[in-house]
Amino acid sequence: MYSIADLKKGEKAIIKDVSANDIPMKLLEMGCLPGNEVEIIQLAPLLGPIYININGSHLAIRKETARLVIIEKLIDNE
Tell me the average pLDDT across 7-34: 89
Tell me the average pLDDT across 42-68: 92
DSSP three-state, residue 37: strand
* pLDDT given at position 78: 44
Question: Could you tell me what percent of the chain has a pLDDT over 90?
Answer: 64
* pLDDT given at position 6: 95
* Residue 63 vs residues 5, 16, 74, 77, 78: alpha-carbon distances, Å: 6, 18, 20, 28, 29
One DSSP character per residue, 10-34 reads T-EEEEEEE-TTTS-HHHHHTT--T
Q: Quote the CA–CA distance of 78 and 65 in Å, as a whole number.
A: 31
User: Which domains, ranges and CATH numbers included, belong to the chain?
Assistant: 2-73 (2.30.30.90)
Q: Quote the CA–CA distance of 40 and 63 in Å, as a whole number.
A: 12
Q: What is the pTM of this model?
A: 0.86
Using the predicted structure, report yes or no on whether residue 27 has a pLDDT greater than 60. yes
Using the predicted structure, report yes or no on whether residue 24 has a pLDDT greater than 90. no
